[in-house]
Structure formats: C-alpha cells, structure tokens
A and B are shown apart, each in its own frame.
Chain A
Amino acid sequence: MDSLGLPHVRRAFLRRFACAFAASAMLPLSEAHAFGDAGAFNPRILLTGTSNWKGRRKLAPARWALELVRRTSAPARVSPTLVAADSPKLLAEPFVIWSGSAPPAPLTGPELRGLQRFIALGGTLLIDEHEPERGLFVAAVERELRRVLPDGSPITVGSEHVLFRSFYLLGGATGRFQKADKLKVIVRGGQAQVIFSPNDLLGALARSAGRLHAFEVMPGGEPQRERAVRLAVNIAMYVLCSDYKNDQVHAPFLMRRRRTGTK
C-alpha cells in the first residue's frame, strides 16, 4: 500500500546500521525490547541438538531484516537472535528459521514439546535447505515434523498462494539455487505455519563481513538473487500480516497486475 511522503528517520538509521552491520554478532538477546520494537520482525535461527549457527550464512538473517526495513514499512530486528528449540524463549516471538545442510539430530523430548507449543500458539516455522542438490536436511526435518505435527502433511503451493503476493508479485520460489519454483507448506487453521524452502533462501541473502555476497546464485545470477530477496520480504510480510493480501479489497488490483504478466 502506498502512502504520501513520510519524513522518516529510518534512512539515517539504516546508514548507521550499515556501518555496524559487518561487526554485529548474532547473540541471543533478552526479550525486553524498546517500545515499537517488540513487534518487529525477527528472523530468528532455531537451534536443535548440538547444532550451532556459524559459517557464511551467519549474517543472512540480519540481511533479511535489513532488506525488509529498507524496502517496506515493517520494522525488523537487524540483530536477529538465536533460539534453542527447548528454550522458553522460543515462545517469545512467532517466527523462527530452521536451517541446515545435514540431517539434524532427532528432536529431544523438550525440543519436541517446545516446537509443539510454538506451532500450537500460531507460530510460523521456515525450513531452509542449504544444499538443495542433496535435500537431506529438508527430508530429515519433514520426518521430525511428523512427530511435532502428526496430523500435518505438507502441500505444494504455487504463485496463487498469498505468500507470492504479500508484498511483491512473484511468479515462484527461488533462492541460491532454483530447485523448485513452488513451496511446500503445512497449513493449520488456514495459515501456512510451516514453510519449506528447498532453494537455500538464506544462502542467497548471505553476505560476508565485507558486504560481498557470500555465495554465487545459480543459475540466474543477480536477478535470481533479487527474486530471492523479494521472496524473503514476502515471507516476512506473510508472517506479519498473514493473508492480508487475500482480502477482497485487493483482488481487482492484483488481478489486473497479474494479467499484465508482471512477476
């Protein structure tokens, strides 16, 4: 939704943030946030078993938050946090990313219960595969999620789903790779609560400390990376606004734009 010009302090804030971005470390923070910040989008990383969060994708969540703040009116936590599946802090915010390349260790009892409560309260879980060619992580997570959600089966959704029009009009899914242009989701109560990203979305977002891209994007290069960023923005908007873009008031506009072939 457009608006009139807004004298905003966010640009100055972003410039300051850009300087600090490279040096920012991803540390678990307390739940106490400033007024206006508590409801900000926070792409938290979920840790299970003995896993940790390091490597070239370490700053991808921060990049995600930064792109969201730069492109939209949504506030975001530009120093996203880590959260363990068995930590009570998992219930502090309704979004978490479970990302990896190797099959994770089976969920322990506390982790299982933590994820079950997270889903039961309406939280959204993004599963991101680092190595789409092998797909071992997503396959293993699907197995574990059958324990968390015995009655939840993933379904495949394409560009007709609100995820692909929650901010940008997108033709399909993408990431560092282009393994599938559709997403699998587990829907509960009309909401896609678990989203499977098979294309290494965080890999496309990742940047190194020198603000260079951490990975090449294949096969589409930078245009594909841009589409991956847009998908990340759309996922964030979906988390924040749920199916807002399904509202009838938007329908005629979106139909008209879809007909022009815009992606």
Chain B
Amino acid sequence: MNITLSDDLPVMVVVGACLLAGLSFAFLILEVRRMSERRPWLVWLSGMLATVALLLAVLRPARVAQTSAGLGARVTFLFDVSRSMDLESTGEGRTRRERAAALFPQLRAHFGGARQTNLYFGRGPARALGDSSIQGLRPAAESDLIAALRSVAGATEAVPQAVVLVSDGRFDRPVGEGLTTELDSALGALHAPIHTVMLGGEAVADAAIADVRFAGAVVAHQPVVITVEVACTGGLPCGEIPVFLREIHAAGKPVERASGTVALKEGRGTIDLELVLDRAGQRIVEVAIEPPEGDLVAGNNRRLLPISVARDQVRLLHVAGRPTYDVRALRRWLKADASVDVVAFFILRTHSDDVAASNDELSLIPFPVDELFTSHLPSFDAVILQDFDARPYGLSKHLRSLRRYVEQGGGVIMIGGPNAFVSGSYAATPLAEVLPVDMRGVRRDKAVDFASFAPRLTAAGRSAPVLEPLRALIGDDFPDMPGCNVVAGVRPGATVLLEHPNRQIGAGKAMPILALGEYKSGRSIALTVDGSHRLLFSRFAAGAAGRAHGAFFDALLGWLMRDPRFEPLLLAVAGECFAGVPAQLRVRSVFGGDGVPMQLEVTPLTSGGEPTRREVVVPKGKDAVTVEVGALAEGAYSAVLRRAQHAIPARLDFACEMGGREWADSRPDAARLRQIAAHTSGVAVGPDGVDRLPLPRAVDVIAQRHVHPLLPAWSWSLFAAMLLGAHWWSRRHGGLS
C-alpha cells in the first residue's frame, strides 16, 4: 500500500503549501525563542500541530492500493535464410539451415519466459516466420542484414529488449569487413543487445568462382570483357586454375566461347575473358573452373548467368533469287531503317542469261554462298530467303548449317515466289524442319497456286501483337495477292496468322499464308506470297500512304528478334531459381487476364529431359500470376507458354544455379558476428552455446490501482481549525499577541 496526495492538486500548489508551512515553522521558532515567560513549549507544540494540520487540509493525503504482474522481456529471433545457409555446416553432416531449424526449439525453450518474435531475413526487410518452418522457406539470393535490422527497429510494436541473430555471418550487406558506418547506424537504432549464434563451423578447403563481373550492356556481335575472380580458401593449395565460358542453348552441347587460366596469389586471382554473343535476347552463359584436387565444395565451381544481350543493329542477310518489285519493296524498307544493317545478295544473272558483254563490263560479283553460310552465318541475327532456289546456287549443302544456326538462336524468314518453298527445293531438307510450314507431300509441279486471292486473318492473327501495327493502318482487309506457294500444312507448335480464303489443307483447315514458329532457340517465319510489295506500292497501299509494308515487316522482324512489343505474353523468373528449390515463374499478359487456360512447358535446354507442364490462368481483373514449376536440377531451361494450340508462344530461357553468388565464399564469418555482439553488449555463441545467452529482465506491469482518501476533506479542515484555535489560546496565555 502506498500513500499519495490528492490527485486534484497541481504541483505548484503542493510546493507553495509546503513552502508556507516551512516559513510558518521558522517564524514560530523565532517567536518561541523570544518568549521568557512560562510554558513556551505549549506555544511551540500547538503551533507546530496547527501548521501540520493546515498543510494536511490542503494536501489531503490518500491511500493507494495496486496489484502488478511480472511480464517477460521482448526477444526477437532473426534467422538468416539466404542460400549460403544451404551450405554444409562443417563436421555436422547437415546444412546450416538444418542446424538453424534444429536450434529454433532450443532458443524458444531458453527464452521461454520472454515474449518472442520470430523473423527471417534475406533480401529486403525482415519478415515474420509465422507458421512456416525455416527449412520450408525459399532461400534468398542475398542476405541484407542492414535492411533486416532497420525493419526491426522501425516496427510499430515495442522495440525488443534483445535480438538473437542466427546466421553464418556471410552477409551481402553490409558490404566490406568490420563495423562499417552503415552497420553501426543500424545497430544503434535498435537500442538493444544483439546476441549472435554462429553456424557453419570451420572453413573447408574450397576453390570457388568468387565473382563474375562485366561492365555495361552486352551487345550482340560485340566483344565484352568478362572478369572472373577465383578464390581458394580453407587451406586449399591453388596455383593455376583453368576457366571456361560456354554458351548454353537448345541445340545440344554448350559452345565454348572463351577460356583461360587464372594464376592465384595468396588464394585469389582474376582473369579477363573476351566473350562475343551473336544472338540478341536472353542467353545463358556458363562460367566454370576446373578445381584442384581437394576441393570439398563443388557447388561453387560453376555459375550459370542469364545475360540479356542487346542489339545495336539488327544484322540481316537478305538473299533474293531475282530482282522483282517485291525485292525492291523489302530492300527499300531494310535500307531505310537505321537500326538494320543489311547485307544483301541478289541473283541478277544466271548462266543461261545472254548478257552480251564480258565479265569486266558487268558490275556483277560472284555469289559467295560458301563463305556466307559457313564462317559469316553466325554474325547475322536473321536470314531472309526471298524467292530463292536453293539448288542452283549451292545453298542446298548449307541447309544443315542454316538449321543449326536457327537451333542456336538465329532467325529465318522465307518469302514466297516461283523459286521458294517446294519450288525452291526446300522440301525434305534440314531447313524444312525449321520452317513453320509443312511441305511434305506437295508435288513440285503443283507447288504454286496461280489464283489471285486476298489473305484472311486467323483468330490468332486478330489477337497477335505482331499484326497490330499493320491492322492499325489497313484494318482486317488485305490486298489481293497474285497466287501463292502451296504448302501441306503447319508444323506442330507453329502459329498461322494469315490463311488462304479458299485453299484447304485437309480437315477443313485453310492453307497458311503467314506462319510463325519456334525451333529450339530460334524462330522462323514463312510468308508464302510474293505480293507483299502491294502494301508499299498499290492503290491499296495509297490508303495508308505506303506505310503498311514497313509496319508489317518491322513487326515480323521484331517478333523474330524477340522484341517485347510483339510478345503477347511475358515470362520472368520470380525471385531466383536455385537447384532443388521449387522454382516460380511470373506470367504477365500484355492485355490483362481473361481467365483462359494456357499451357506452360519447362524443358531442360541441353539434356532433353522430360518437360514440366503446368496449366496457367491469368484471371480477369489481374494481369499477372506466379506459377510454381517444381524443384529443378542445376542447369539451363526453356519455358514456353502457349495460350492456345496455334497461338504465338512466349518463351524464356533461364538458369537454376546451385548457390549463385551466395556460394562464392563458403566460409562462415564468425568475426563479423562477434563484432556485432560486442558492439551491442550482446553475447556471441556457437550453436552449442545457446544456454549461455543472457535472459533479459522481466518487466512489472500494474494490473489494478485504487486510491482511497485517508479522511474526508471536511475532517482535515475541522482538525486544522481546532488546532489553530488551540494555538491561538496558548499564544494568548503565553503573552503573545
């Protein structure tokens, strides 16, 4: 029980009353000293009692009755869930993450009396663990301790009295060693000790790719310097280590693009390798080292880097079998576009032509077919074969190379004419496998249809972004075409955007006029007419001021080059893809969701393993969804998303790494954890030292409080009046006034 004063008194009144009482005592003492008469003690006593009674009448003391409870301190557990926690904890036969998961109940029990908050961190602010287990969480591609500490300090709930950090100490942020300014600031904001539990054990012998750097954008056909840093730790003796750069694509074995040997000094060394990638778009490059004997961590000897290769200019090879207005139209557009670097070869003369002149009088040069389709072929982003007969000009023997070129990411457009498709000797050739149309069974003497017609849009054509620029200019009606090449059908997976209005290929299907297809890492287009120049120059073209031809080919070329403007669906990896961890892909529909089911297929790029299939639906009102595609092994993959059987698919090449940058240094960083603990008056322990972590003091919390006056206010006043009267009598009796 406590005594308090009346709670309606301002502090100044209390102070004033006490001062007055003190002053009264002083005067009383002075008066009593001057008294020589009888009984001065009576004056002294009555005066003192009267003054006290007056003071109590003002202060009115009260009795306080309260009950309180002891409450546990607030403790926050902060678990590191970055990918480095999936490395083995030395000597324990389990990973650091598994060790952390095993520690969790121990920590909870040790801090049993405390109010516990369970958080984990990786990239960005710390998040609540909730009901998830530490092992069930997706590993993060980085560990940002600064962001995690700041989020704990800035939380709306009370700041914890202690933080327990469970980690291997290998952070991506703070960068550098020791107590950086950034770390000091983040630690200071918490105003609480940070106890650290260090996982990982001792460093093991390890040769690793410590870093891979390249400056700026990677541009197709232009060399870029890739700096590879190699490190040997844990006492592994390393002299020279071979390094390789390989491009991975759907065509089979990875293609070695560069290699070298790095010499290590004091356990570290770097090497600059020049890499040239010919195909634009997303490419997967493997960086690998050959580690010396004794290397105990194999997962960091290889990196798989998805590199977005930009295009300075689209470099095209335009080959035409004869000069026509169709060739003229396409050439004029190609030459007018500054973003296109075109190398053209037109057959202007055959040996049967009678030029009536010697070779020196002609401006003609030999068609370098062997040179073009062997050594120079990879330097082109796409090849246009326009009304070109493969056989007489020696192209037939290079069709296998052309197929390989598409397999590795190149693009091919075949444009119709009397010397194209079946008439151009392409049926049953390696290139026929690449083209999106099927030429099997078409007789050479019936390979051309001379009937005029206007191409008709298919359902896929109406919704395809690749035809949108053209349709914006001319609508859905196309100019008459003077016949077409006959094809037997569409290859599996190809998309028909324009079809013949009258000619069938069986089963009620119209013959394709414009078809688009994917073939391994590359793309191909088949246009079976030679009248597209009528989009540039004709009465029809005049309606759009001749711009329709450019809009048509700009979009076709853009699609071939994977320009995102012409992709109806966009795919991206959600977060990071680590081997053995369920991977997630983000599917975005450019036009928003419509609830139509789509088929997603994820296939290994090289090994040709079984594809993983998922049905994807972007609901109405949303424009993106995330799809889990299961745990994938380390490697490069191709994800193809198809909206309908014959719609243009979206494609993404991506890689799943074992550890990525997180495994670049496999050693735990105990020193960093000890520094953090020491700086915040915390305690640093190993996984076996949880019991040594100090328990923060519990807090008392008042549950109930009652205030009762000792006496009613009137009784204090009555006592004071009576005692004042007595004092007055004693003064008079003692001779005082």
Contacts and interface: CB of A to CB of B under 8 A. Distances in A.
Interface stretch (B317-325, B460-468, B710-718): B317-325
A250 interface: yes
A32 interface: yes
Nearest to A94: B537
B732 interface: no
Nearest to B541: A121
B482 A32 contact: yes
A4 B538 contact: no
Interface string B386-427: 010100111000000000000000000000011000000000
Contacts of A189: 336
B346 interface: yes
A242 B332 contact: yes
Contacts of A242: 328, 331-332, 335
A39 B356 contact: no
- Which of B328, B354, B448 has most chain A Cβ within 10 Å? B328
Contact of A166 (B327, B336, B363, B450): B363
B482 A247 contact: no
B352 A91 contact: no
Interface string B531-549: 1011011110110011000
Contacts of B393: 3-4
A58 interface: no
B365 A92 contact: no
Interface string A54-82: 00000000000000001111110000000
Contacts of B363: 165-169, 245, 250, 253-254, 257
Contacts of A191: 332
B353 to A, nearest CB: 6
B452 interface: yes
Contacts of B417: 35-36, 39
Does more than half of chain A's interface fall in helix, strand or loop, or is it mixed? Answer: loop
B530 interface: yes
A4 to B, nearest CB: 5
Nearest to B367: A1
B542 A117 contact: yes
Contacts of A70: 353-354
Interface string B319-355: 0011111111001100110000001111111111111
B361 A263 contact: yes
Interface string A213-251: 000000000000010001000000101111111010110
B415 to A, nearest CB: 11
A35 B263 CA distance: 66
A262 interface: yes
A257 B357 CA distance: 14
A123 interface: yes
Contacts of A2: 349, 351, 364-367
A3 B343 contact: no
Given A35-B418, A71-B355, A73-B322, A3 B349 contact: yes
Given A74-B324, A167-B364, A38 B531 contact: yes
B480 interface: yes
Interface string A172-189: 000000000000000001
A107 to B, nearest CB: 18
Interface residues of B, number: 63
Contact of A1 (B346, B356, B358, B538): B346
**Of residues A5, A41, A168, A260, which shows the largest number of chain B Cβ atoms within 10 Å of its Cβ?**
A168
B558 to A, nearest CB: 22
A94 B328 contact: yes
> A interface, how many residues as a size bin?
35 or more
Nearest to A189: B336
A123 B537 contact: yes
A263 B541 CA distance: 39
A1 B345 contact: yes
Interface stretch (A6-14, A15-23, A136-144, A201-209): A6-14
B610 interface: no
B481 to A, nearest CB: 8
Given A1-B347, A92-B539, A253 B482 contact: no
Contacts of B483: 34-36
A146 interface: no
B484 interface: yes
B323 A240 contact: yes
Given A34-B450, A244-B331, A39 B351 contact: no
Interface in B580-614: none
Contacts of B482: 32-38
A37 B417 CA distance: 9
A91 B324 contact: no
B328 A73 contact: no
A122 interface: yes
Nearest to A33: B482
A6 B351 contact: yes
Contacts of B688: none
A230 B356 CA distance: 9
A235 to B, nearest CB: 13
B360 interface: yes
- Which of A11, A36, A71, A245 counts the most chain B CB atoms within 10 A? A36
B12 interface: no
Interface in B430-456: 448-450, 452
A247 B344 contact: yes
A250 B350 CA distance: 18
Contacts of B349: 1-3, 71-73, 167
B362 interface: yes
Contacts of B545: 120-121
A88 interface: yes
B322 A74 contact: yes
A11 B352 CA distance: 8
B323 A73 contact: yes
A88 B324 CA distance: 22
Contact of A39 (B326, B355, B361, B546): B326
Contacts of B360: 169, 257, 260, 262
A93 interface: yes
A73 B353 contact: yes
Contacts of A6: 350-352, 389, 392
Nearest to B345: A1
Given A1-B347, A1-B366, A74-B322, 14 more contacts: A2-B349, A32-B482, A37-B482, A38-B326, A39-B327, A39-B417, A71-B354, A73-B353, A74-B323, A91-B537, A121-B545, A166-B363, A241-B346, A254-B363
In order of increasing CB-CB distance, the 7 nearest A-B pairs are: A35-B483, A39-B324, A240-B323, A36-B418, A39-B325, A38-B482, A6-B350
